[in-house]
Amino acid sequence: MSNKDINNNYNNNNNDSAVERAPETPDTLSSASPSTSNGVAITEAAVAAATAAGRVDQSVFHSNRIRPGVVVVSPDTDTSSKEATEDSRYASVASTVFRDEPAAASSAELKDVVVNGESRFEGGITGAVASSIERHLGSPTTAPFPVTAVELGMLSDERNRTALADLLAKGIQRETKISEANATHPHHHHHHGPGSMGARAGSDIEAPEAKQRMYSHVMSLVEKIREDERERRIPLQATDHGLHEDDHDPLVQEADKNADMAANVLTTVLLRSSPESGIDPRELEHRREVFGTNALTEKKLDSFLKLCWDALQDFVLIMLIVLGIISMVVEVTTHLGDCSTCWIEGSAILASVCIVVLVTASIDYAKQFAFIRLTKSLNETNTKAVIRDGQQVSVTDDDIVVGDILSVNSHNLASIPGDCILLGPVSGLKMDESTLTGESRLVAKKPGDVILSGTNAAQGSGQMVVIAVGINSMSGKIRARVYETDEAAGDELADDGENSPLFVKLEEIAKRIGIAGTVAATMAFAVSCLIGLVVNGDEIDSLVDYLITAITVLAVAVPEGLPLAVTLALAFSSNKMMSEENLVKHLDACETMGCATTICTDKTGTLTANKMTARSFFYGSQDLSVTDPREHLGTYIHNRGTSQHIIDLLCNTISINTMNETVLHYGEKDGKTVKSASGNPTEVALLYLVNDLGQDYARIRNTTRGRSNQGSLGEHLSEGKQFGFSSARKMMSWAVPDETTGGYRLYCKGAQEVIGQRCAYYLSSDTGEAIPMDDYGRDAFPNASLAYARRGMRCLALAYRNLPADFDFEAKSTEVKNSDGTPAFLAETEMTMIGLVAIEDPLRPEVPDAIEKCYQAGIDVRLVTGDNPNTAVSIAYQAGILRDFHFRQGTTERVAVNLRDNVLMEGKTFRGLVYNVKESGEREFDQAAFDRIWPYLRVLARSSPDDKLTLAHGLNQSNLFADKALCRKLLLEENITVFPDRQVVAMTGDGTNDAPALKRADIGFAMGVAGTQIAKDAADIILLDDNFASIVTAAKWGRNVYASIQKFLQFQLTVNIAAVVTALVGAFFYQTSPLAAIQLLWVNLLMDSLASLALASEPPTEELLQKPPVNRTDSMITKHMWANMLGQASYQITVVMTLLFAGPDLLGVEPGHRVEDRDENSVHYTIIFNAFVWMQLFNEVNCRKLKGEFNVFKGIFRNPLFCGILLVTAGLQALIVEFGSLAFSVSEDGLDAEQWLLCLILGAGSLVIQQMINVIYRLAQTFNVRRHSRRLAKDRAQATRQIH
């Protein structure tokens, strides 16, 4: 049903249906609290009157705050008593809801609605309107809603309280119209039987003033919210820097209460849900029809036929198709005599095309489903707790609907499945919105705030109502935009759609080979016609034979095995990469990563472990900071000889003064190894420190009187005193009985600037004893805290105090104040400072080595993060992205302020420099300005996902390398090397808004664990372990792919050169080729395809990462490869020509052309074919090495696949020669032992020839170097003479 249909139905429907009476269960009844901290207090008289008639449901007073809730009358209460007191009961509740006294005007509609749970829509004014919807618009499972999905989506877009108020106003205005329309048509009401609300419909219609007053109150609330916004009393988002200074203002508190009420009205009136009971499960399908489903339409998979069509676009395959068709037509139409096998050669060529196409398409098709299986397995684990029909149930994200009441908490880092509005009360809920904004700072939320889909609950807990799902939610809109703009025009940052560097080069090679083959075939045909028809006087019918010979030459020239070789190499490498935590979605991404020149990486989870960890401990005069990511702080503290007294104090303070919700989970085997943790990330880091110090936090906590809730000690839990954490105090403490002194010991932790001012003593690093706080102490701790902060670390102070047994824990200090100006607890003053603990998200241990490998491989690494500059620089320096020369000379502290210009840049500054603003207000990317920045840029902090897109686009399009003078200057003056070609950019991302950048980059890496679905869809490779080291692995395999294809090209083109020359010579002298087309097809396709798999299976070596990336414009065929190919081809041509012309005399066999004239297969040509093949097999071993290595057998036995394929190919060749006379045009009797030995010796000669080529090439290189040196010396001498 469309939104238009819903609205029409909404405006025209005036049916009336009753609401069935809910079952009355005593379990849901409870006493009401006599007071509230949120609104006007209920008088004791009102509560007494209410309880005299019945009991009030506790949901009304949830968490000591009045909220719209149902007032339930005890089922055993006398009806007359109920009638006598219900006015006062409703008046008391209404006065709290509307915050106006008296509330007599509101009590009428409350009384009219909420008695004995007759309406499932629980709550005050919201219940009244919801009940009105049920009675006047039909069944609750089909009744239209007063808001549309589009309007709710606009609320998600605007994300402010004015938008919330506007939405409420629209809904109430529609409700008013419906009520007025229904009042004029009372005869349409339906009654569902006695005892239902429908039986009282008449009385409802007779009192429309009650509804109008209720609507008026809601509109009054709307106006209050609008006024609050106009007067700027509402912070749009509460920040993580502590409470906003105005949050203590009564006006701001009132505004927050208004927003809380508005969220509840939205939930119950407009969305027909309830914070307490959720939605009616019968409405699920209706809600999906009205507001959409949360199961986003999956990206359409390419069909198998489409993948086949894509594979057919290869230039070589197109040539083969044409060649095969021509061959079949010519052979079948011109063949004389029996044509039972004349079609074989053309069919074999077409069959080879089918094999390549099917293999390529099958691999791509299987990759699609592998990705789908990964996605589904992840989706099945994404479940959320929602309230439906009063019960909390677990449903998958796809099953969430608008109106669901979602319960989230930070223990499972819950990801929000749809856009929501937060309902009160909340428990310190803070959201991580980095997936959408790129900003890693947590954002505190208040009731009435919009919670966007794709964000995560990082701290606290809360309830929220879902307002937009699927395509209507924020993440859904972004996902749709990503998929729909694949071919969008007009976006200056859009991908230009160019092929990967590998396929660009292969296409160029294929075209050149095609042109050369066509020229050779034309030459063969022309020469054959000249010699045959003019010189020898052959019949005109011989033209067909000449044409077949020309086709054979063309078939030899075209590398039929190349497409399959490339596909097999990519497929083999991608499967190997899968076992090394890289899921390759697009095969060409394997090789592209091998050409990468720049990696733009995230920080959290990629470079770091995504787990807060204690890394520094400062006490007395000792600064114990761990710099090696493989070392634990606890071990380091022990190794530095810290006294056991201080270690015990540290462990006791942490263990006792942490929340029960923060726990470490140990492995089952030894019970000591930490398997996982849950709770507050900061406290988890502290508990890990206790564990690393060799102590058991649980044992300390459970054996401490006044802290333990276990066993007999649990009876004394009340003897302890907790001072809870709050943003106003910025600290928390726990006092427990001290059996040694008979008094108490208070343990405290919190912000250094707060605790430091309350400490009168500190522990000496020499003796471990408490000494008075002196000038050194007053300076040392703030300075240490500042130093940690400059390194991007979060600092906590730990302190303790001994208290007498009769100490008054409620006593307040007259001198010390909390952050909000309120008096501090006296117990939390005059403390002894234990020390400072600094925590951070530490670097993964393997990252520094991986970064070093990148630099050795000529790959620049840039850090792009939403974190603040200090944190970003600290991690970048530890990882090795930043080196000492990036900092100003004369500075020793490696912090952000000491970096050289443009090495670090914040996102806002970056955008301001690389974009020009036109007069129309549109932004225009400035490539020249970007080129002035990017060579220096190493860290981009506080960046947004759009900055990633700009960076990927600018790097990819930069032609700075063409300015040789500037590149030379950067190298000499700044030690900056600019890659001598266009950049090949790899980009990592995990957030929804990272998707465009991942698509724009040459290679997009998405995080398999932390990444959103949209990011994974946009990426080329998925890092299954979210680890930067896996990116380096991908680069190594990518370079191996490139090297494997180079090896095969060297092998294939050597075959082609020798075969083309052989075929041309045969055509010139005998007007036929000594190698039959079917024999050449075996060499070029089947044998070469096996060779491609053998060479592709060569495992990568570390040497691949010790040379720079290959330029985009460099040819795949290097000078050394040309030397190898020409040298081996010359040897093979020499052997074949010798066998062709001198073979009959040397071997005592009849010349092959004479035997062929009798339509028989000759021994002569069989020897040539066999020797030719064995030379290729031995040369296959040579091709394992590309750089002139002398030991071509090195590592061959570590690759069993290569050895196996070599043996299989040799065995097949032997079978063909001995038993393949009919199919492969070889001698019927095969070859004898002497002839076989000759072929093997000639084949093995390729190994000797390769060694000769290597020696000659090195001598030539040495000669060139010396000649170049002499030329330079001569030029310098000439210049010197000119000066003199």
Number of residues in the chain: 1284
Q: Give the burial string for 987-998 (b: 16+ CB within 10 Å, else e).
A: bbbbbbbbbbbb
Which whole number is the average pLDDT over 978-989?
Answer: 89
Angle 419-421-423 from CA coordinates, rounded to 5°: 145
- Which range, 316-320, 396-400, 570-574, 1171-1175, is most confident? 1171-1175
pLDDT at residue 32 greater than cutoff 70: no
| Strand pairing category for 1021-1023 and 1003-1007 | parallel
337-341, 388-392, 689-693: least confident range: 337-341
For residue 844, what is the enclosing H or E element? none
**Rounded Cα gap, residues 235 and 247, in angstroms:** 9
Report H helices in 805-961.
Answer: 847-856, 869-879, 907-914, 927-933, 945-957
Closest by alpha carbon to 1094, among 1179, 973, 998? 1179
Q: What is the pLDDT of residues 1185-1200, one digit of tens each?
A: 888 788 888 888 888 8
Q: Which amino acid is at 524?
A: A
**Rounded Cα gap, residues 992 and 995, in angstroms:** 6
pLDDT of 881 reads: 93
- Mean per-residue pLDDT over the chain, rounded: 77
- Structure tokens given for 429: 């809920």
Q: Which amino acid is at 611?
A: K
pLDDT at residue 605 greater than cutoff 80: no
**Rounded Cα gap, residues 337 and 639, in angstroms:** 94
Share of the chain above pLDDT 70, in %: 76
pLDDT of 298 reads: 63
794 burial type by CB count under 10 A (0-12 exposed, 13-18 middle, 19+ buried): middle
Which residue matches tokens 């080329």?
1020
Count other C-beta atoms under 10 Å from residue 952's C-beta: 28
The torsion angle over the Cα atoms of residues 81, 87, 90 and 95, rounded to 10 degrees, is -140
pLDDT of 417 reads: 86
When computed from its CA atoms, the radius of gyration of the chain, rounded to whole angstroms, is 40
Q: pTM value? A: 0.63
Q: What is the pLDDT of residues 1057-1100, one digit of tens each?
A: 888 888 788 777 766 667 776 787 777 666 667 787 788 778 88
Q: What is the pLDDT of residues 906-941, one digit of tens each?
A: 988 998 899 988 777 778 899 999 999 999 999 999
pLDDT of 483 reads: 59
Which whole number is the average pLDDT over 504-523?
Answer: 81
Closest by alpha carbon to 371, among 81, 584, 595? 584
pLDDT of 1055 reads: 84
Instruction: Name the more confident of 514 and 949.
Output: 949
47-61, 531-545, 582-596, 890-904: least confident range: 47-61
First-to-last alpha carbon distance for the chain, in angstroms, is 94
Instruction: Give yes or no for a contact between 657 and 748, defined as CB atoms under 8 angstroms apart.
Output: yes
| Strand pairing category for 731-737 and 744-750 | antiparallel
Residue 583, phi then psi, degrees to nearest 5: -90, 110
**How far is residue 958 from each of residues 455, 502, 940, 952, 1099, measured CA to CA in Å?**
34, 20, 18, 10, 34
pLDDT of 365 reads: 80
pLDDT of 743 reads: 93
pLDDT of 98 reads: 36
Closest by alpha carbon to 1226, among 1059, 1074, 1083? 1074
Q: Give the burial string for 415-424 (b: 16+ CB within 10 Å, else e).
A: bbbbbbbbbb
Farthest-apart Cα atoms in the chain, separation: 130
**Rounded Cα gap, residues 130 and 120, in angstroms:** 9
pLDDT at residue 503 greater than cutoff 80: no
pLDDT of 541 reads: 65
pLDDT at residue 1247 greater than cutoff 80: yes
pLDDT at residue 66 greater than cutoff 50: no
Instruction: Give yes or no for a contact between 94 and 110, defined as CB atoms under 8 angstroms apart.
Output: yes
pLDDT at residue 1277 greater than cutoff 80: no
Q: What is the pLDDT of residues 97-113, one digit of tens each?
A: 333 333 333 333 333 33
Which whole number is the average pLDDT over 829-849?
Answer: 91
> How would residue 492 be classed by pLDDT, with cut points 50, 70 and 90?
very low
46-50, 90-94, 648-652: least confident range: 90-94
pLDDT of 73 reads: 35
Count other C-beta atoms under 10 Å from residue 842's C-beta: 24
Instruction: Give yes or no for a contact between 72 and 117, defined as CB atoms under 8 angstroms apart.
Output: yes
Return the active site residues: 602
Share of the chain above pLDDT 90, in %: 20
pLDDT at residue 1270 greater than cutoff 60: yes
- Structure tokens given for 1155: 């035997």
Residues 6+ apart with CB under 8 A from 223: 165
Q: What is the 3-state secondary structure (H, E, C) of 481-519?
A: HHHHCCCCCCCCCCCCCCCCHHHHHHHHHHHHHHHHHHH
684-688, 937-941, 1258-1262: least confident range: 1258-1262
> How would residue 14 be classed by pLDDT, with cut points 50, 70 and 90?
very low
**Mind giving me the DSSP string for 29-42?**
--PPPS--SSSSPP
pLDDT of 656 reads: 93
Residue 845, phi then psi, degrees to nearest 5: -60, -30
